[in-house]
Amino acid sequence: MGGKNKGDLHSGKCLHIVLNTGFFTAKDFIHALCWAGCKVDPAAEELLSRMSFPLRKNDEEVTLVVTSVAGLGFLKSAKLEEILRESKSEPLNFLPCSIETALQLGIEYTEQPMDKTLFVAMEPIVGSDGAQIILCITHDEGDTRLLIAHKCITWSPDDLFVFLARK
């Protein structure tokens, strides 16, 4: 299902990451993201600073699936609610990602192609201004960055989302 090249990012690609026991705070995640070469946008850093993360007793490998909005059956555009609802239905049966999964993706997936953005399929987080937000990882202008995206956006058929695959 995955591409031939590590950096080949397309609909249907599987990514494998390990959720680990080493990160306990937003500061831990932010340092790890920066060390991995993923810059953290100030709005994302502010959001993360208000979050708490579950303590893990064991590392857990998870499989993520990348699919386009069109791959979910939306040929024109879709809202986040529609994307999440469709992704949970048969035959896809994907799960939304946790915030921890989104951050670990930013740490581990260092082969993201230039000019590609991965929107993380997740239940929205409420920002300090009350806006409902999801996270995304983009690679543009030579940098990989963790950004926020507002839930109210209408996504185009070519936009790529990453989901948690069921075991």
Q: What's the CA gap between 53 and 48, in Å, rounded?
A: 10
**pLDDT tens-digit profile, the chain (167 residues):** 233 223 344 567 888 888 876 777 888 889 999 999 999 999 999 988 887 776 677 888 999 999 999 999 999 999 999 999 999 988 888 999 998 899 999 998 877 778 889 999 999 988 888 889 999 999 887 789 999 999 888 999 999 999 999 87
Supply the pLDDT for residue 10: 54
- The tokens of 9 are what? 């990012």
- The tokens of 124 are what? 């929205």
Q: What's the CA gap between 27 and 29, in Å, rounded?
A: 5
Supply the pLDDT for residue 1: 28
Supply the pLDDT for residue 52: 75
What 3-state class would DSSP assign to 141?
coil
Sign of CA dihedral 37, 109, 148, 58: negative
106 touches 120 (CB < 8 A): no
